[in-house]
Amino acid sequence: MKVVTLITLVLLFFSCKEQARTTLSAQEIVDKSILVSGGEQYRTNDVYYKFRDYEYASEWQEGKRILKRIRLTDSTKVLDVKGSKGFNRFINDSLVPLTDSIANLYANSVNSVHYFAYLPYGLNDPAVNKELLGEVTVRDKEYYKVKVTFDQKDGGKDYEDIYLYWFNKETFKPDYLAYKFYVDGGGIRFRAAYNERYHGGIRFVDYENYAASLGDSAFYDVDVLYEKKKLKLLSKIELKDISVTASN
């Protein structure tokens, strides 16, 4: 009897060691996700696309990433440029003076669209903190559920926002994301990816954009409400006319 017990304990010990060895960290999950979604292609290509009434561009110049937004009318071209040296607006190629508050507002707007367009790229930025919350099932598929927060330094104006990502356990692609924000009265958004396609080796998706009215604790169960169809569909976020070209 003692021999059987000892063998059982040994088997349990090695089983636990094997499970611990194969459990991925949040960092490893994100690394794998970035790799299958584009990897080095993110840093060697310029990307152009349309979203609603604007054209967007992400370009690399001397190793620095430049984000652009362009609005064209019959007689006017408005070009917003966000780079390492700050934000500038040009109207018909003429620089427009802006107050700091307005410049920050425009810069955040430009950055937000680009941020979602290239996910999961950006989740390894220095200000990003990642925590694996566990493994869950959403619509019969298994996911790693990862929480993302931001340091105040280099975390942007909305550094207090909290994000959740659901990474498919088989593909490591982020099929869902949610975030809790605090500006303009605050709120919660849940996004479900669809229409996946690759351009120049980079993954792009569109999103169904849902809203939820939840307390702080319930935010972490927003995936459960999505499965129960208790979220309100607000809009669809669709990228059009995507093109990817090698950076100079």
Whether 49 contacts 61, CB under 8 Å: no
Q: pLDDT tens, position by position, for the chain (248 residues)?
A: 444 444 444 444 444 444 444 689 999 999 999 999 999 999 999 999 999 999 999 999 988 999 999 999 888 999 999 998 899 999 999 999 999 999 999 999 999 999 999 999 999 999 999 999 999 999 999 999 999 999 987 656 777 899 999 999 999 999 999 999 888 778 899 999 999 999 999 999 999 999 987 666 689 999 999 999 999 999 999 999 999 999 98
* pLDDT score at 70: 98
* Distances in whole angstroms, Cα of residue 98 to Cα of each of 61, 104, 105, 122, 175: 24, 9, 11, 28, 38
Tell me the pTM. Answer: 0.87
Respond yes or no on whether the N-terminal peptide bond of residue 120 is cis (omega within 30° of 0): yes
Radius of gyration of the chain (CA): 21
Kind and range of the H or E element at 86? strand 86-91
And the tokens for 248? Answer: 């100079």
* pLDDT score at 135: 97
* pLDDT score at 126: 92
CATH class of 27-243: mainly beta
